Structure 1
């Protein structure tokens, strides 16, 4: 199938062709037709499947066929959990709407709101936003959502994990009841299905890949290693392999900073990206990583979604996540658009049960290696690491372990709110 057969306009086909695409991905092939028909869609799609184009292309076509109002109120709202993902989607919207009379904008926290407010005042058809800044601008009467025709909730599972359910509920009350809804999620938990039931009306369900499967082209490997030898092993792998672009995941912000310092001390250019970093620092780090001036980017799970890095060859889990689904999202940064990739996990004794959970989720046993000089400690306990007093959900982005479960599920704890505000 080609994009020409999906019913897209010549202007959109011209933009798609300019980007060098000719064949739609499975999620695009399945999602675009029902969206063009005006139906609500509930889509399951892993990272790297082309889902962003799956909703932006038909959304832009629907808006372009409508009447452009003089003051350009927001007609399509795309809600996403992180700044990086919001920025990426905005770039896609701009590229695909190049030959259309459509204006778009992106808003998120961590930066001065004045330029964003000025852009909104000039009129915007498509708005990409994170929940915190969106609600802030609505509360200040700088932004109205009263004319929204299409509502897109992207990375819905991540939204819930980061504690945005209350914010989503507030936003739903600000947009018209009569609208088209599109909801995309990599996983479908009971909470996601409950959220979908409250937002979508007779949705068409589409699925690109089986839920929680890992991309086949990704070569996965586990190195069993003593906890205290992980840093040395990372340096050895990167240096001896002459790896030039590596994304490394740590569990905490403090761990990300420490590992970055040690990499730099060993002569490897590196930068950290996490929720405590300013938006300017995060943007600079990502730009350096993409242009090759920075070899290693060390990140917490805030970067597990929304980073579009073409042909990223290596992902390293310095610490594997205790939430199995996060493993899928992390390694999904490589092996994108059909390219091959390598995902390496450094596993110490206290992460043994986490590894077992991950292997159960993805339905495969990951090959294990031991590097001479970096052997696991035979006397180390296999008791799972304590996460805030027990084996619970770790705070997203490596925040304080004091965050309560209620905050990750949309509760009103102050610690949860502060974490979200920094991210958005």
Structure 2
């Protein structure tokens, strides 16, 4: 199935084309039609399954329908609650990516930073609000925002909310929402307390479940290589030559890191290009086309820029830096091992990243084998 078969509205389809998105994931193909019917949804899905697009795309479509059929509503129309700042930023970026040709304003609210810029954004008028529970309640208590106008409410990662002790805050927030609303509830697991919470919030929901994210890693051979941070680049070159691969997708955490590594690879005789958010759409598309056509061997990407990369014959992925969100690891290595083919994912781990590795192994339910090589 392709996005065009889902009959996505023109402005959003255009944005998806810009991103290089062609085929929806299982959660997207199941959830989008249900949400568009204005039904409540109970989704059992992990972060790496593409669920953000599964709710962001149809919610944007419904907002556009509302805008065309009635006067512009006042106040915030959409509230997405996430357990962490990182997820709030990712969800915000998704809404902005998919809604780039729509006139809706969005903002993320989270703690750990000054509230002043966030409040300034709110005061300019916001349609879509992505928030962590603590900062949201704090601003409500200060009288700086109200939830009276919410039409669409998304609770993301409900089980992580429970693990992090946010369930009471979530219940407080839900009590402030209008009774008449559409609610979309997502959780990777359904322990008893989460099921009770879902039952209390949802009205005649449709249920969608996809396989746990860890199952997507089974076709991918995974290895970890422990080494000093400073020796990562030097060790990478012989590995790439040893694997004798036509194409390798290499992930870094930052835009600067992607540029720096791409230049180093080029100087070392490995044709490469970097893609990240600071590159123009044209430059990203050009690099991706050259990579697909085999004109360059290595594509160095940040996680956000790598969205929409869909290459069936990609057999090798390198995590030059370990991601700090475990689901991101699964999403990265899921770029290989597509369509029943075997893939290989190698992660370079320095001492500062061992905690991230521990979280990843907990999520996928197994220890990643350590690469035994003279290179270490």
CA contact (8 A) 1:42 1:183 kept: yes
Q: Residues 141 and 333 from structure 1, CA distance in 2 versus in 1: closer, same or farther, beyond 3 angstroms?
A: same
Alignment of 1:253-402 (within 5 A): 286-292=254-260, 308=304, 310=306, 313-314=318-319, 329=327, 331-337=329-335, 342=345, 344=347, 367=369, 370=372
Tell me the residue number matched to 1:182: 184
Gap regions ≥5 residues in structure 2: 240-248, 265-301, 310-316
Q: Does 1:94 align with 2:96?
A: yes
Q: Does 1:241 align with 2:243?
A: no
For 1:201, what is the secondary structure of its paired residue? coil
Deviations 1:125-149 (A, max 9, x none): 1111111211111111111101111
For 1:334, what is the secondary structure of its paired residue? helix
Tell me the residue number matched to 2:291: none
CA contact (8 A) 2:232 2:320 kept: no
TM-score normalised over the length of structure 2? 0.68
Q: Does 1:14 align with 2:17?
A: no
For 1:94, what is the secondary structure of its paired residue? helix
Superposed displacement of residue 175, structure 1: 0.8
Superposed displacement of residue 154, structure 1: 1.5
Superposed displacement of residue 4, structure 1: 2.5
For 2:27, what is the secondary structure of its paired residue? helix
Q: Residues 142 and 368 from structure 1, CA distance in 2 versus in 1: closer, same or farther, beyond 3 angstroms?
A: closer
Aligned-residue CA RMSD in angstroms? 3.9
Q: Give the whole-Å Cα distance in 2 for the aligned partners of 1:200 and 1:343.
A: 42
Superposed displacement of residue 337, structure 1: 4.8
Q: Give the whole-Å Cα distance in 2 for the aligned partners of 1:291 and 1:212.
A: 31
Q: Give the whole-Å Cα distance in 2 for the aligned partners of 1:333 and 1:121.
A: 36
For 2:135, what is the secondary structure of its paired residue? helix
Superposed displacement of residue 239, structure 1: 3.6
Q: Residues 210 and 85 from structure 1, CA distance in 2 versus in 1: closer, same or farther, beyond 3 angstroms?
A: closer
Q: Residues 343 and 146 from structure 1, CA distance in 2 versus in 1: closer, same or farther, beyond 3 angstroms?
A: farther
Gap regions ≥5 residues in structure 1: 224-229, 248-284, 296-305, 375-424
For 2:235, what is the secondary structure of its paired residue? helix
Query: Matched residue pairs, number?
Result: 307
CA contact (8 A) 2:79 2:154 kept: yes
Equivalent in 66, 82, 88 of residue 80 of structure 1:
82
Equivalent in 141, 165, 184 of residue 139 of structure 1:
141
Q: Give the whole-Å Cα distance in 2 for the aligned partners of 1:189 and 1:316.
A: 33
Q: Give the whole-Å Cα distance in 2 for the aligned partners of 1:291 and 1:155.
A: 33
Q: Give the whole-Å Cα distance in 1 for the aligned partners of 2:17 and 2:375.
A: 51
